Amino acid sequence: MAFDLSSVLPKLQMLSASDHSSVVSMNLFVALLCACIVIGHLLEENRWMNESITALLIGLCTGVVILLISGGKSSRLLVFSEDIFFIYLLPPIIFNAGFQVKKKQFFKNFITITLFGAVGTLVSCTIITLGATKAFKWTNIGSMDLGVYLAIGAIFAATDSVCTLQVLNQDETPLLYSLVFGEGVVNDATSIVLFNAIHSFDLNHIDLSTALHFLGNFLYLFATSTLLGVLAGLLSAYIIKKLYIGRHSTDREVALMILMAYLSYMLAELCYLSGILTVFFCGIVMSHYTWHNVTESSRVTTKHAFATLSFVAETFLFLYVGMDALDIEKWRFVSDSPGTSVAVSAILLGLVLVGRAAFVFPLSFLSNLAKKSPNEKISFRQQVIIWWAGLMRGAVSMALAYNQFTMSGHTQQRSNAIMITSTITVVLVSTGVFGLMTKPLIRILLPPPKLTVNMTRADSSTPKSVTVPLLGAAQDSEADLDGHIHRPSSIRALLTTPTHTVHRYWRKFDDAFMRPVFGGRGFVPVDPGSPIESKGPYHWHGEDNQRNI
C-alpha cells in the first residue's frame, strides 16, 4: 500500500506553524510577566496603583500594539479558557490565601463572613437577575430565557477576591481584610455552585421543593468540600509526622505538601464539590499542623514557594484578561450598535452597586446586634469600605461568562457577544475605578493614628514570617484567659461570650487529641545526630509553650 507523502507534508507544516506560534505567544507572555514584576515593584509605594491593575493595563497596552501590528485583524494570542483558570490559576491563589491567613481573626468573624459570602451572594444574585430581567427589555439585546438571566445574576454576583488580596493588608486592617477576603472565598464558591445549579435544575418548574433542594444541595457542598480540605490537610500532616521525610529530603516534604494541596482541589472537582473551599481549608489545616512538622528549611521553602506560585498566577491572570479584552472578534458583533453594549454594561454596573449595598449594610447591622464589644462591631465607615472593596469583578466573572456565552472562547451570536463585551467592560471599569480608589478611600475613612503601636503580635500559627519565634508570645495564654474569662454555664452563654472562650476550648481539644496525632505547634523535628535525638525523632516543648497560639 503506497504512502502518499504529498498529503502528509502540508499537515506537518501546519502543526509546525501552530507550535511556533504557541512558542512565540508563551515567550511574549513570560516577557510581559517579567515586565509586570519590575513595573509593579517600581510602583509599589504608589497610593493608587497595585500589581493587579498594573498587569491589567500592561495587558491592554499589549493588546493594542498587537491589534495595530495585525492591521486591526486580531489581538488574540491565547484564548481565555475557563479550564485554564479553574484548573491551573485559581488553586495556588486560594491555597496560599488559606495558608497565610490569620486563622484567629478569620474564625473570629466566621459567622459574619458566611453571612456575607453565602446569604449576601444570594441577595446580590437575586437583585441582579430581577434588575436585568426588567432593564434588558429596554435594550436591543434580543430575547433571553429565565436560565440566562439567572446565570447573569450568578456571574456578576461573583466578587474578585484576587484583587482584594492586593488592595487590603491584613496587618494594617485585619478586620477588613478578614471580612472582605473571607467573604470573597465563600462568595466565589457560592457563585459557582449557583451557576452550576442553574444548569442542572429544571427552571420551568420552580417551587418550594426546588428551593429547598437547592438549599440542601448548597449546605451539602459547603460541608463536604470543607471536610475534604480538612482531611487532606490532616493526612499530609500525619504522613510527614510519621515518615519524617525531612530527615532524608526536604524536597520530598515540599513536593508532598504541594501535591496534596492540589490533589484535594482536583478531588473536589472530580466529586462535583467546591474546589475553592476545599483547597482553602486545606491551606488552613496545613499551616496549623503540617507546616510545623517539617524542617526549618522546608518551612522557609514552602512559605516562599506557595507565595511565588500565587503571585505568578495572579499576575498571569490579570495580564491574560487585559490582553483578551481587545479581542476584535467579539467587538465586531457589537460594532453596528455600540450604544447597546454601553447601555448593558452601565445597567450591569449599576446592579452590581445596588446588589452589594442591599446586603452589606443590613447584614452588618445584624452582625453588630450579636456583638457586645464595641471594638468587634463593624462601624459605618468600615461597612462603606467593605461595600466598595467588594465591587470589583474579575476572573471568576470572566470565566463563568465565557462558559455561558461562548464555545471554546468563540461566539457567533450577537446577544452572546454583547454579554461577553459587557462583562469585559464591567471587569475593566470595576477593577480600574474601584481598585484604584480603594487605597485612598481607606486612608480617608480610616486614617492611621499618628503614633502607631503594634498592639497585636503576628499570629505565630500562621506561616507569614519565619523570622518570628514559632511559639510566639503568651498574649492569649491559659493563665491570661483564666484570669479574664469565666467558664460559661450554658450553650447560650457560650455563644454570647467573647470568642476567646471558644478558642480556649478548641485549644484544650487540640492539645489533648489533635497535636499528639497530627503534630503541629510544639512539635520540633530534630536532625540526625543532634543532642536531642536520643529523646526520639520528635521533641515537644513544655506545656506552657504548647499552649501559646
Q: What is the pLDDT of residues 25-77, one digit of tens each?
A: 788 888 989 998 898 888 777 666 777 778 888 888 888 888 788 776 666 66
Is residue 180 classed as helix, strand or coil in its secondary structure?
helix
**Best mean pLDDT range from 38-42, 71-75, 222-226, 240-244:** 222-226
**Span of 27-36, 167-176, 353-362, 496-505 with lowest mean pLDDT:** 496-505
pLDDT at residue 485 tops 50: no
Q: Which three cell numbers stand for residue 544?
A: 506552657
- Mean pLDDT of the residues in the chain: 77
Judge contact between 375 and 418, C-beta under 8 A: no
Is residue 524 classed as helix, strand or coil in its secondary structure?
strand
Q: Calculate mean pLDDT across residues 312-324.
A: 83
pLDDT at residue 78 tops 70: no
pLDDT at residue 475 tops 50: no
pLDDT above 70 covers a percentage of the chain that reads 73
| Bigger pLDDT: 147 vs 459 | 147
Is residue 406 classed as helix, strand or coil in its secondary structure?
coil
- The secondary structure element, H or E, covering residue 53 is helix 51-69
Q: Calculate mean pLDDT across residues 478-499.
A: 46
**Span of 136-140, 475-479, 513-517 with lowest mean pLDDT:** 475-479
Is pTM beyond 0.85? Reply is no
pLDDT at residue 137 tops 90: no
Neighbours of 91 (CB within 10 A): 27
The count of residues in the chain is 549
Task: Look at residue 227 in the predicted model and tell me its pLDDT.
Answer: 95
Distance CA 549, CA 547 (A): 6
Residue 257 amino acid letter: M
pLDDT tier at 98 (50, 70, 90 boundaries)?
confident
pLDDT at residue 190 tops 70: yes
Q: Calculate mean pLDDT across residues 65-93.
A: 76
* 321-348: pLDDT as tens digits: 788 777 776 777 776 667 788 889 999 9
pLDDT tier at 353 (50, 70, 90 boundaries)?
very high
Judge contact between 289 and 234, C-beta under 8 A: yes
pLDDT tier at 204 (50, 70, 90 boundaries)?
low
Task: Look at residue 129 in the predicted model and tell me its pLDDT.
Answer: 93
Distance CA 120, CA 530 (A): 54
Residue 221 amino acid letter: L
Q: Calculate mean pLDDT across residues 240-262.
A: 83
pLDDT at residue 458 tops 50: no
Is residue 450 classed as helix, strand or coil in its secondary structure?
coil
| Bigger pLDDT: 485 vs 408 | 408
pLDDT at residue 539 tops 60: no
**Best mean pLDDT range from 95-104, 109-118, 466-475:** 109-118
Judge contact between 347 and 429, C-beta under 8 A: no
Cα-flanking dihedrals φ and ψ of residue 523, to 5°? -90, 120
Beta bridge partners of 407: 410
Judge contact between 103 and 284, C-beta under 8 A: yes
CA distances from 391 to 117, 149, 337, 380, 542 (A): 13, 20, 27, 17, 48
pLDDT tier at 138 (50, 70, 90 boundaries)?
confident
| Bigger pLDDT: 286 vs 16 | 286
Distance CA 134, CA 138 (A): 8
The string of DSSP letters for 72-112 reads: TS---SS---HHHIIIIIHHHHHHHHHHHS-HHHHHHTHHH
